[in-house]
Amino acid sequence: MWGPPPFIDPLDGFNTNAMAMIMQVVEGLFTIDVKSNNSAIIPHLAKNYEWSADGLNLTCQIRKNIKFHDGTPFNATAVKWNFDRIYRLIDWMMYGYLWLLPDGTPIINETQVIDDYTVKFVLNTPYVPLISLLASYSAYIVSPSSTPADEFIDPDTDNLVGTGPFIYDGPPVFHNINESQDCNFTLSVNPRYWGAKPKIDKIVFHGIEDFTDRIEAMYSGKVDILCREILANQTAIEMFRENSSFTVTDGLLPYIAWIVMNNKLINTTMRMAISYASNYSSFIDYFNRYDERIIRAKSSLPESILYYNTTGIDIPYYNLTLARQTLINVGWPGTEGLTANDNISAGNEWAIIALTTPLATYNYTSWCLSSYSIGVILTENLKQIGVKIEMENISYFEFVAMVYEKAGYHRNMFGFLYNYWVADYNDASNFIDLFFTNKMIAENAGQVNDTLIQKWMEDALIETNPTARARLYYQIQKRLIEEIYPHIWLYTITYTTIQVSNLKGWYPNWYRIEFKHVEFT
């Protein structure tokens, strides 16, 4: 782990360290199948489920003879209590928007107890991704007897109580190792766990913030797993990979970074030209100075999310001749007499135009160091198609206000903006609906407003057939990539898990961490 978890309540935020611990203690009605290649969603505390014909009711049969760690029975009443609690605390939840429709209406209108082991979710509108959401972090079920009903769990005074295979043994213990703060806390095995009893007796989490200290902890035997390393020293990871005492596994984050193009200010022709004028390798090279596991993103979806598919789609690539020809073909004012070629030598005609009489001038709004550096690269790229970029720096607060159009900021104040996102749960809607819908609460800072995209994404929310949903999301990706060109998709990130080789039953998965299968051989 990278440091102590800042909270222990599943509703209190989203943090990889907290998540790693909480997932062992509390469980959801649904879960991620960590053994599957596509992180399939499967019933867990729910035995089975059924949608009503109109898609407005999801009825779940839940498992019997399960108790929370404090002895409280797990039943439909406990389930209802948890989902009622979500909507009581939603205004204080960092990720409360997950439980709202794009227009701000609650997804769940009411949670009904049908009998002790049957619960029905009555929705305000059909919402098929609810199954994926119910498998996610904020849908984990805590004990009504041990959890505050109207506030978050206090990690200093309260306890985290679930039905999981491990029991939370209290707040972490802090001490210093090698002048670096370390905290550790222990989860003990749940002797009454309803599933197969874990083959280990306890888990000790060490929150070691410094990567060098985490490496030392692995070599010394203090730590058996380095879980989900992201920005790590590649040389050190390769040393682990070459050592037979360790097993190294790579994965791909459900993450994308991109440059938002303001679709209201930059028309489709120019967005297409920009997409082909962008030297993607230059962006990747910038980030790989810090971490060599940055790879190019090719879609509006990350590769590791449900329904990603770019088969047969023409992905924009660095082709300056094509970018220039795109502008010439439509007779863009100022392109008369210009030649479409790949000449980027100093003083070429396109670059001179950008400095003297630009074909277009746009603002690039920077809100952090990485954002600024990306803007510098973009400025040089677009100079080669006669476009001038004017850089502006704002604070992170102003960036958030602009994205959400708050505090007097408007989305038309920028032409380009760097942004990134990591999935909250395994469903394409978690990206598509946030960044391309025209409903009011979305993070659609690029102001994409396409009738077909809107229809397909709304159809995908109510389509219960997985094959049909996959087809809809393929259509969305194809149209965005080949026809709309809403953003410049930059990169995604791989992560690495390092474990001792005699530890078996560990299945690296970004969406869910499970220690209940592990054993030493």
Q: State residue 240's pLDDT score.
A: 92
Rounded Cα distance between 204 and 73, Å, is: 28
pLDDT digits over 127-141, tens only?
A: 999 999 999 989 999
pLDDT digits over 369-379, tens only?
A: 999 999 999 99
Residue linked to tokens 């009711």: 57
Return the ∠ at Cα 68 (arms to 145 and 40), rounded to 5°.
125
Rounded Cα distance between 54 and 60, Å, is: 16
Q: What are phi and psi of 289, to 5 degrees?
A: -65, -25
Query: Domains in the chain, start-ordered, CATH in brackets?
Result: 16-139 (3.90.76.10), 166-251+496-520 (3.40.190.10), 255-494 (3.10.105.10)
Whether pTM > 0.75 for this model: the answer is yes
pLDDT digits over 21-62, tens only?
A: 899 999 999 999 988 777 889 999 999 999 999 999 999 999
pLDDT band at 178 (very low <50, low <70, confident <90, very high): very low
Whole-number Cα distances in Å, 304 to 344, 416, 472, 496 = 36, 26, 18, 14
What DSSP string runs through 256-294?
Answer: EEEEEE-TTTS-HHHHHHHHHH--HHHHHHHHHTT-TTE
pLDDT band at 175 (very low <50, low <70, confident <90, very high): very low
Q: State residue 176's pLDDT score.
A: 47
pLDDT digits over 288-313, tens only?
A: 876 667 889 999 999 989 999 999 99
pLDDT digits over 321-340, tens only?
A: 999 999 999 999 999 999 99
Q: Is the pLDDT of residue 441 over 70?
A: no
What DSSP string runs through 439-473?
Answer: STTS--TT----HHHHHHHHHHHH---HHHHHHHH
